[in-house]
Structures are given as structure tokens and as C-alpha cells.
Amino acid sequence: MRRIPAVLAVLFCALLLCCCSGNVPLKASYTSSSYTLSLEGDKVVSDTDWVVNLNKPKDRDFVILNITDIQLSTTEYILNFDHIRDMVTSLVEKTKPDLITYLGDMSYGHWCSDLGICSFIDSLGIPWAPVFGNHDMEDSGMAPDTLAQVFRSFRNCVFRDGPNLLAVDPSYNVEDKGNYVVNIVDVKDDAFKVVKSLVFFNSGTEGATDLQMQWYQDCMDSVCSYGGSDPVSSAVFMHIPIYEYRTAILAACKSRYVTPAESYDPSSWNPGYEGSFGVWYEGIGYKSGKPGFADLLKAKGNDLLVCGHNHTNSFCVNYEGMTYLYALKTGPGCYYEEGMEGGTEIRVSASGSFDVTHWYFYDGQGCFDRPQDFI
């Protein structure tokens, strides 16, 4: 009998050790959520922390500038930061954005890149909305929790953690924070409507999960009654593409051997996809992504998907009612294709429709909406 307390003590110590070592497996636990919006003065406010609302300027489109995959190692940061700063400054001057979206992979191995890039973007004085990339989740420079705190500490950053434990990365046993919503709202007199709902996913290192899709559907069910007489459409931003990017480009692509400049020629695409542009130079990195997410998104009014991750893909294809957009990579970090550095402009109209433009940057020359022959 004397052995029982001893065994219990050993078990207790083992449990304590396990907890202290941080090896307790985290489990995603989302069930459901909803939010409401109301007007306070000329601002729309939400009853939920992870929903942000930005006013659409009167009499003109809402302009989003997307940058992605800066992904600088320590050495690259030292050598290339001036180049990145000049590029983003030029993109901002050209597009005059109301919101900067950052699609992940801030750094590639050291926190100085994370901090330097965040500080620079915030210094532009424009609201900015980042998501995590796979390298941000891999402790590549800074632990994900710390990077989330860093995002939240910047004055102009609208990043939110999102619902607790909505997603957990299976490879690193860390919570995928940063699932949140930014609504573009039109405020007139004493009323408002949501023009478009921008939904930001942390796609971790493996891609979006079923629970995140369930959360997306709850978000759209929450916002659908705020469109006035129009349905509310959404645009989804995530680092890792979903499976259907492959289906879309296989339908549209006539040849993978076109240059970025040639991709603007309608004859470079299969019939029915002549409005496409951009290139498909590497595999679609959806990792564990499975078919079916596109239908879920479309069913709730999503008409635009924006991803990064694959640095030498830049295609923009409308396939079965949804635009599949690879954002143009920002800078030369890690790997890149010469002549394919810059950012992507998304102009959102009062009806929620949108136009996409890649802006190509060349040192000493500035930004152009078509590839140039400077290189």
C-alpha cells in the first residue's frame, strides 16, 4: 500500500515535467462564432475583437497594395533592405493604398528582418494587415507567438490573433494565430454597408484546415445582412494556396513557356481565359490541401483568392466564378525570378467588384504595370 503514494508522486512529477517542457499537444477546438456591426459616429465597430472595419473613401475605389514573401536571411537583410525600402516606397507612391496587405514569410532565419520590415511598413502611416507564412510559423527568426505580439505592438497594424485555438500547426505544435477579418465599409449619412469582407487566414505550414473553413462560413453568415440591397462578397488572403489553384491554372494555361510580358497577350491563354495574365513557373505548393475548399468559399460569396508562397508564380486566372491570384513577390529574398519583383494592386469598387494589377519594380526606374526590358 505504501507504494501507491510513491507511484502517484512519480506520475505527478512526470505530468509536471511534460507541462513545463511545453510538449503538451495543442488541439484545435473551434465550434462556432458570429459577430455584429454597428455605427458609432462615422466609424463602424464590431462586438468582436478580431473584426476590423475600414471606411471606403468617398467617390473613389478602395485601394489595396499587396506585398509578399520578402523573406530575407540576415545577410540578405543587410544587403537588400535599401532595395526593399525603395521598392515598397515606389509601390506606395504609385498606388496610394488605403490598406497594405502582407501575405507572409517576413524573414528567413533572423528576427532583425522581422523587426526591420515591420518597422518600415508601419512608418508609412497606412493601415497594414499581415498574415503568417510557413517560415513565420517555423520559428524562422522569431517564435510565432512573439511575432504576433510584435504585429500587435505597431500602431498602424490591424493584425488580430483571432478565435482561440482555431488552428494548430501539426508540424510545430503551435497555435496558428492571425485569423481575422477586415471589412471595407461605406458610410453615408447615418447608415453603412459592407462593400467587401477581407478574410485573413493563417495557413500554417500545411495549408488551411476544415475548421478554418467553418470559421470563414460563420464570418460570412455574420456579415451577409450588412450589404444593404447587395450580397456581401469576400476576398480571402492566405500564404499557402488551396488545391484548386492547380485546377484553375490547368484549365487556363496554354503554355508554361511564356515570359511575364508575353502573358499579357490574350493569345497566350486557352479559349475562355484570355483575360488572364502572369506566369506559372513552379508547382502549386498547397501541401496537405485537399479539394473542396473552393466550393465552400464560392457558396458564401468569395470571388477573389490571394496567395503567396511560390515566388515564381504570378498568374491571375478567373476560373468558374472565382479569381485565383498569385501575388507578385516583393524583392529577391530566398529565391526569385529576375524581372518579377514588386507588388500587386487590388482596387475595390463601391459594388465590391475589383481590378488586379501587378506592379513590376526596377532599380532606379520605378514601378510599371507591365514587364519592361530594363534588365
By CB under 5 A, name the binding residues for Fe ion: 105, 133-134, 309
- Report the C-alpha gap between 356 and 327 in whole angstroms: 10
Residue 258 and residue 279 in contact, taking contact as beta carbons nearer than 8 Å: yes
Closest CA to 203 of 247, 232, 171, 234: 171
CB of 188 to Fe ion, least distance (A): 40
Write down the least CB distance from residue 203 to Fe ion, Å.
9
Minimal distance, residue 111 CB to Fe ion, in Å: 18
Question: CA 311 to CA 132: how far, in whole Å?
Answer: 16
CB-closest chain residue to Fe ion? 309
Pick the closer one to Fe ion by CB: 163 or 204.
Answer: 204
Q: Which of 120, 112, 119, 114 is nearest to 74 (CA)?
A: 112
Residues 6+ apart with CB under 8 A from 154: 118, 119, 122, 128
- Residue with C-alpha cell 503554355? 255
Considering beta carbons, is residue 204 or 278 the nearer one to Fe ion? 204
In degrees and rounded to multiples of 5, residue 129 shows phi and psi of: -125, 105
Find out whether 108 and 76 touch, Cβ atoms under 8 Å: yes
Ramachandran region, residue 342 (left: φ > 0; alpha: ψ -120 to 50; beta: rest): left
Q: Please check whether residue 369 is in contact with residue 342, taking contact to mean a CB–CB distance below 8 angstroms.
A: no
Least distance in angstroms from the C-beta of 312 to Fe ion: 12
**Helices 74-95 and 111-123 sit at what angle, rounded to 10 degrees?**
20
Q: Are 209 and 27 in contact (CB under 8 A)?
A: no
Residue 238 Cβ vs Fe ion, minimum distance, rounded to whole Å:
11
Q: Residue 357 Cβ, how far from Fe ion at the closest point, in Å?
A: 23
Query: Of the two residues 52 and 137, which places its CB atom closer to Fe ion in the complex?
Result: 137
Nearer to Fe ion, 127 or 241 (CB): 241
Amino acid at site 319: Y
User: Which residue, 109 or 133, has its beta carbon nearer to Fe ion?
Assistant: 133
Q: Which is nearer to Fe ion, 186 or 206 (CB)?
A: 206
- The answer to whether residues 183 and 197 touch, using CB atoms and an 8 Å cutoff, is yes
Closer CB to Fe ion, 110 or 309, in the complex: 309
CB of 314 to Fe ion, least distance (A): 15
Q: Which helix (H) or strand (E) holds 14?
A: helix 3-20
**Closer CB to Fe ion, residue 56 or residue 309?**
309
Nearer CB in complex with Fe ion: 90/134: 134
Q: Give CA separation, 81 vs 318, 336, 368, in Å.
A: 34, 16, 21
Residue 336 CB, shortest distance to Fe ion, in Å, is 13
Angle between helices 144-153 and 111-123 (to 10 degrees): 20
Closest contact distance (angstroms) between CB of 113 and Fe ion is: 14
